Amino acid sequence: MIYLDNAATTKTAPEVVDAMLPYFSEYYGNASTIYSLGAESKTAMDHARQTIADSLGAKPEEIYFTAGGSESDNWALKATAEAYASKGKHIITTKIEHHAILHTCEYLEKRGFEITYLNVDRDGLISLDELKAAIRPDTILISVMFANNEIGTIEPIAEIGEIAKEHGVLFHTDAVQAYAQVPINVDEMHIDMLSASGHKLNGPKGIGFLYIRKGVKIRSFVHGGAQERSRRAGTENIPGIVGLGAAVERAMRIMDTKTRKESELRDYLIGRLENEIPHCWLNGHRTKRLPNNINFSFLFIEGESMLIMLDMKGICASSGSACTSGSLDPSHVLLAIGLKHEEAHGSLRLTLSEESTKEEMDIVAEEVKKIVQRLRDMSPLYEDFLKSQKNN
């Protein structure tokens, strides 16, 4: 099997599993208790919180554990909206956000909030001038994803943070795809809130965190206990938290070598696909993109058919976000960057890991070439295109 869908989820690293195991059956105490068994759990949780804080240049008391990226996104938007409604009811985001943001914005719109959805260019980048023009006296929050989960484009986060700070507006970033892939410093980038998820960085599923800068007036998201400084009640998922901490330690340790390797393999496969398959193109910014992300559109084919045929060859890939892979609608991200419906339907996303190899890239390139040609041979649209080319 060649697994190239790491944007959807990653394999939990063996050392992460090893770190978690004792907290299921040996150190199983509740972290809120005062006896030593519970203290073991609390110590482990505090260590993970410190590790995550250090990775962002944050303070440990600014890290709040959640069930994952979607919960963190929901918390950042809903609780901010509630806390700052007296100041204003205007929020700015983009048209290419993850649905955890977009659907939460739709929820808030039904409750009287006004949302401005920024456009992006063909590469998926927002315009800083458009952002500045969108800010109003009643704007309370700007939420722009750090890097897009489909096309891999990395937004100008530090510049967005600077603009938000200048205008006294809170800035949240969904960093689910970017965290532990690229360096992030919340102070240098003026980030007030940041969402992340464990299973995107070789950690376990069902655990994530929300960074909330000290002083941000954000409401509690889950009521019922004093956990997470009374902002997110519920007995802490200690095995998950330990696993997340171990995954972050590992990710920080290998980031430089991982980034270098993935970027080289990414560019190698992009080059092969571009040079060897006609009527296709790369989606997303060529250089301002995640080191492991490749997203292509192929004319005259359906992405779903390509995925099935790749799977038959033992290659795991995607045609977009994992959260919408069951949908027949074209990707909202690809439409936002200007693709037509039929162009968006023929997309393929390949996301690498540090275990990916050049040999695998060659296998994938050869299989994609064969599959694209086979699908085009069955396509009446491609047949019509070839006839029109001959007539011209």
Query: How do residues 336-387 score in pLDDT, each as one tens digit?
Result: 999 999 899 999 999 999 999 999 999 999 999 999 999 999 998 888 888 8
* Residue pLDDT, tens place only, 31-75: 999 999 999 999 999 999 999 999 999 999 999 999 999 999 999
Mean pLDDT of the chain: 96
Instruction: Evaluate if residue 162 carries a pLDDT over 70.
Output: yes
Q: What pLDDT shows up at residue 321?
A: 47
What is the Cα–Cα distance from 65 to 37, expressed in whole angstroms?
21
* Residue pLDDT, tens place only, 81-96: 999 999 999 999 999 9
195: left (phi over 0), alpha (psi -120 to 50) or beta: beta
What is the Cα–Cα distance from 18 to 122, expressed in whole angstroms?
44
Please give the positions annotated as active site: 323
Measured CA distances, 34 to 39, 40, 43, 130 (Å): 6, 10, 12, 53
* Residue pLDDT, tens place only, 128-138: 999 999 999 99
Instruction: Evaluate if residue 323 carries a pLDDT over 80.
Output: no
Q: Two tokens at 353?
A: 């890991």
What is the Cα–Cα distance from 285 to 301, expressed in whole angstroms?
23
